[in-house]
Amino acid sequence: METVKLNESQTERKKYILKCIANEMTTLEAALTTGLTQRRVQQQINEYKTKGDTAFIHGNTGKKHDDDFFIERKQKVINIFLYTRIDGKNPFENISYAYFTEILNEEFGIKCSETWVKKVLNSIGYKSPNKYKAKKEEIAHLFRPPKEHIGELVQADGTPYDWFGDGHQYCIQGFVDDATGIPVGLYMTKHECLLGYMEAFRNMATDYGLPMQLYPDRASVFFVNNAKDKTEEHLTQFGKMMKTFGVDMFPAYSPQAKGRVERFWKTLQGRLPIQFKLNGIKTIEEANKFLNEVYIPKYIKRFARKAKEDESFFVKADLNEINSVLKATFPAKVDRGGVFSLMGYKFFTPDLPNQKINICMNEQDGLWIIPENSNKRYEVKLVETDTTGTMPEVMQILIERVFLKNAKPKFREVYMDIDFEKLAKYGNEKKKSA
């Protein structure tokens, strides 16, 4: 047997083991004296018989721990947290422990636990903002259990926020399923508006189908709140679209009533700006692509809960019908020169002089017109930009993106170049041939 040198405590333990072997002490008495378990005393006896004094030497004794690895990893995490800069700003300055742990795992390949990350960040004086927010006094609301089927109820809402961290607020409009808590359709615009909700709805209808019920707040996009009666003529444009699709819609009267979508926004505000920075997302167009192709699948994988029932209440949508219905419309009349106006903007069409039309708009297709009592589509040209300031900014952005994307800031006014006599003659000939 190998001869080894024992320290004082090891020598003391050997003494009692030898007494047990010599039947001078029971294993129970040795256990009570040494603080070991009776089972461990018996193991030590058996080990001593085969190994000798080495039985009392711990396997790690004399081995050097890989302290350098842990110190290096800790310092690397601290450096990432303190010194990461994107456009000159630290993206992690108000991050939660849990989310920073996810980012370390996914973005930097550092596998670690939230508990360890918390300990590391605490060592440099950082405290997660989520842990120390003072609780505000809230009005008590009855808890409503989630619906049992996906698509049974979808909550609708929009939230303005500084998503890009550039000091400007943009609005994400979206639909969140009540049963699973997942976003089923999201879309960002400059401000909360009909155009944004239409595109978020289009995304939902394309990916999932039509829900059974929508549960938005009382915003003017969804409801005509000052109307004395709620007949169809007093429905908003969005309300008429939902009626066409057969989707029931009823309002929530407080943010707490649609708490699931409100909690979703809170989570999104804490996570999405960091994701935008890490992935170089700086424009609305980039944001919408990233939301639907990257972030929503990632969110569902991380946060989705299983619906109580497996059956989906989403109804498969006819995408042609969806695309034909989802448009904002505005009545107008084309003058004899083929020109019509929309809130200060002037457009030209050679095909419909002196006719009543509907101007149609959405984010996907831009702007086009259809004659009254017809579904035939006509393209138009922009001839004069707005000088009145009456058009909402979101609509301005859409029009100028479609018509002026590759044009000079000062658009050429072609209205004055039109040959009115020739155009009037052209219009009369079309009437005769009709």
- Residue 108 CA to residue 78 CA, distance in Å, equals 13
- Cβ-Cβ contacts under 8 Å for 359 (sequence gap 6 or more): 329, 330, 331, 332, 340, 342, 347, 367, 369
DSSP character string of 151-166? TS-EEEEEEEE-TTSS
pLDDT digits (tens, 9 = 90+) for 284-301: 999 999 999 999 999 999
pLDDT digits (tens, 9 = 90+) for 380-401: 988 888 767 788 889 988 988 8
- Residue 278 CA to residue 215 CA, distance in Å, equals 33
Number of helices (H), then strands (E), in the chain: 14, 11
- Residue 319 CA to residue 364 CA, distance in Å, equals 13
Using pLDDT thresholds of 50, 70 and 90, give the confidence band for residue 342: very high
- Residue 61 CA to residue 42 CA, distance in Å, equals 22
Task: Output the pLDDT for position 409.
Answer: 44
Task: Output the pLDDT for position 415.
Answer: 43
Compute how many other C-beta atoms are within 10 angstroms of the C-beta atom of residue 143: 6
Is residue 184 scored above 90 in pLDDT? yes
Task: Output the pLDDT for position 414.
Answer: 44
Lowest mean pLDDT among 200-204, 262-266, 366-370: 262-266
170-177 and 345-348 strand pairing: unpaired
pTM listed for this prediction: 0.72
Percent of the chain residues past pLDDT 70, beyond the cut: 83
Is residue 424 scored above 80 in pLDDT? no
Lowest mean pLDDT among 49-58, 225-234, 399-408: 225-234
- Residue 34 CA to residue 21 CA, distance in Å, equals 15
The answer to whether the beta carbons of residues 171 and 191 sit under 8 Å apart is yes
Is residue 138 scored above 50 in pLDDT? no
- CA nearest 191: which of 155, 213, 215, 219? 219
Task: Output the pLDDT for position 216.
Answer: 92
* More confident call, 126 vs 432: 126
Mean pLDDT of the chain: 84
Helix axes 8-21, 27-34, angle to 10 degrees: 170
Lowest mean pLDDT among 76-90, 246-260, 312-326: 246-260
pLDDT digits (tens, 9 = 90+) for 271-285: 999 999 999 999 999
Using pLDDT thresholds of 50, 70 and 90, give the confidence band for residue 239: very high
Residue ranges per structural domain of the chain: 8-56, 70-131, 155-321, 327-433
Domain 155-321 adopts which CATH fold? Nucleotidyltransferase; domain 5 (3.30.420)
Q: Which residue has the tokens 């003659």?
A: 425
pLDDT digits (tens, 9 = 90+) for 43-71: 989 988 888 888 887 655 555 545 667 78
- Residue 432 CA to residue 73 CA, distance in Å, equals 83
Is residue 221 scored above 60 in pLDDT? yes
- Residue 347 bridge partners (DSSP): 340, 382
Helix axes 194-207, 237-245, angle to 10 degrees: 20
- CA nearest 110: which of 139, 78, 141? 78
Alpha helices in 159-207 (DSSP H): 194-207
- Residue 161 CA to residue 366 CA, distance in Å, equals 25
The answer to whether the beta carbons of residues 337 and 353 sit under 8 Å apart is yes
The answer to whether the beta carbons of residues 429 and 228 sit under 8 Å apart is no
Task: Output the pLDDT for position 261.
Answer: 84
Is residue 190 scored above 50 in pLDDT? yes
**b/e per residue 99-135 (b: at least 16 CB within 10 A):** bbbbbbeeeeeeebeeebbbebbeeeebebeeeeeee
Is residue 167 scored above 80 in pLDDT? yes
Task: Output the pLDDT for position 134.
Answer: 45
Task: Output the pLDDT for position 408.
Answer: 42
Is residue 202 scored above 60 in pLDDT? yes
Using pLDDT thresholds of 50, 70 and 90, give the confidence band for residue 6: confident
